[in-house]
Amino acid sequence: MPERVREELSGLANRFETFVFDLDGVVYRGNRALPHAVEVLNLLQESGRQVFYLTNNSGATRQQYAEKLRALGVDAQPEQFITSAWATALYLQRALNPGAKLFVVGEPGLKQELHAAGFETVEAVETEIPAAVVVGIDRAFSYERLAQAQYAILNGARFIATNADPTYPAEDRLLPGAGTMVAAIATATGHKPRVIGKPNPQILQPFIERGVIQPERTLLIGDRLDTDIALANLLHIPCALVLTGVATRDDVACAPLEQLPQWVLNNLSELLGDAVNNLLVHGV
């Protein structure tokens, strides 16, 4: 890979070498790119910055996310994406035997990541209890799937959640997220899941340990205080909240300390200008 040539940028963006962006509510909503996102992302990469995308949405593979961004006009490759589905597959490779059987409440993207990691997925649990029940966003979730997951967990299967986000931002509204399916199964079983996605630091820790991401030289940009910003603060990564997704300024005003961002952006263009608002959390 050719060495990146760093160019000067204006505004906040010039302070950092690496950027980690959430997707839903930050880069796009549904199939519509958010204002200035395409231009800013391409400019960061053209200026020699390292760009990653970190999403709790387990509905697609890394390849599919890269294809979606390219369709919107962003130069993106699969290795830039860190998804809860991919992170779950990596976790299960360490936690389970090779080829273990899984019951999946989730969409094809999650199943494809699990198959690529060497696991078998099953559609019925009564004849053989799977090693784990893996739960992600599932827009075809049904009572039958709930009952199957309940049966497997109550008979010894591990309960793994890709994430617990209660909502995600679509083009013109919020929609139920994977957390609603996770909550239903937790209620039906009385068991709590192991949650792999944000704000679990494990999702980024391997990149930090390998030096791919250096926290002090990285800016994490997200739209949720309880996942994106909480994760950044746990890992001591500078962070900015963008107000194009879930959280609002009112949410920031009453957020606990561990969920406070260093900066608040109206949209991604403010990474490159003087409109960035410093929070008055330190009496500045």
Per this entry, what is the length of the chain? 284
Judge whether residue 16 has pLDDT over 70: yes
**What percentage of the chain reaches a pLDDT higher than 70?**
94
Q: Return the structure tokens found at 6.
A: 């760093």
- Degrees (nearest 5) of the Cα angle 175, 257, 279? 85
- Residue 17 pLDDT: 97
Average pLDDT over residues 13-19: 96
What pLDDT is attached to residue 6?
75
Confidence at residue 206, expressed as pLDDT on a 0 to 100 scale: 86
- Which whole number is the average pLDDT over 250-261? 97
Domain 11-56+199-278 CATH (choose: 2.40.50.140, 3.40.50.1390, 3.40.50.1000, 3.50.50.60): 3.40.50.1000
**Diameter of the chain measured on Cα atoms:** 63
The secondary element (H helix, E strand) that includes residue 32 is strand 32-33
Please tell me the predicted confidence (pLDDT) of residue 170. Answer: 85
> Is the per-residue pLDDT at 275 higher than 70?
no
Q: 241 pairs with which residues across the strands? A: 222, 264
Report residue 182 as tokens. Answer: 């996770």
Q: Which two structure tokens, joined as six digits, stand for 9? A: 């940028």
What is the residue extent of each domain of the chain?
11-56+199-278, 85-195
CA distance 78 to 93: 20
Q: How many angstroms from the chain centroid is the CA of residue 29?
A: 14
Write out pLDDT tens, residues 179-226: 999 999 999 999 999 999 999 999 998 899 999 999 999 999 999 999
Task: State the burial class of residue 133 (Cβ atoms within 10 Å of its Cβ: 0-12, 13-18, 19+).
Answer: buried
Output phi, psi for 170, to 5 deg: -90, -170
| Residue 279, pLDDT score | 46
Q: Which residues are catalytic?
A: 22, 24
One-letter amino acid at 281 equals V
**Which of these CATH numbers, 3.40.50.11890, 3.40.50.170, 3.40.718.10, 3.40.50.1000, describes 85-195?**
3.40.50.1000
How much is the pLDDT for 280? 40
Same fold, 11-56+199-278 and 85-195: yes
Sign of CA dihedral 16, 35, 230, 159: negative
pLDDT band of 1, cuts 50, 70, 90: very low
Residue 144 has a CB neighbour count (10 Å cut-off) of: 8
- The residue-averaged pLDDT of 37-42 equals 97
| pLDDT tens figures, 90-139 | 999 999 999 999 999 999 999 999 999 999 999 999 999 999 999 999 99
Are 126 and 146 in contact by the 8 Å Cβ rule? The answer is no
> Given the structure tokens 């260093």, which residue do they identify?
262
CA 38 – CA 42 distance, rounded (Å): 6
Is a pLDDT exceeding 70 seen at residue 281?
no
171 band by pLDDT with thresholds 50, 70 and 90: confident
Using the predicted structure, report yes or no on whether residue 87 has a pLDDT greater than 90.
Answer: yes
Query: H helices of the chain, where?
Result: 37-46, 62-72, 84-95, 108-116, 143-154, 178-189, 205-209, 230-234, 249-253
Tokens 């779950």 belong to 88
- CA 56 – CA 85 distance, rounded (Å): 8
* The CA-based dihedral angle spanning residues 99, 102, 108, 110, taken in that order and rounded to the nearest 10 degrees: -80
Q: 3-state class of 175 per DSSP?
A: strand
The mean pLDDT value for 6-13 works out to 88
pTM of the shown model: 0.91
Confidence of residue 5 (pLDDT cuts 50, 70, 90): low
Average pLDDT over the chain, rounded to whole? 93
3-class state of residue 204 by DSSP = coil
Q: What is the pLDDT of residue 25?
A: 96
Rounded distance between C-alpha atoms, residue 199 and residue 195, angstroms: 9
pLDDT at 81 over 50: yes
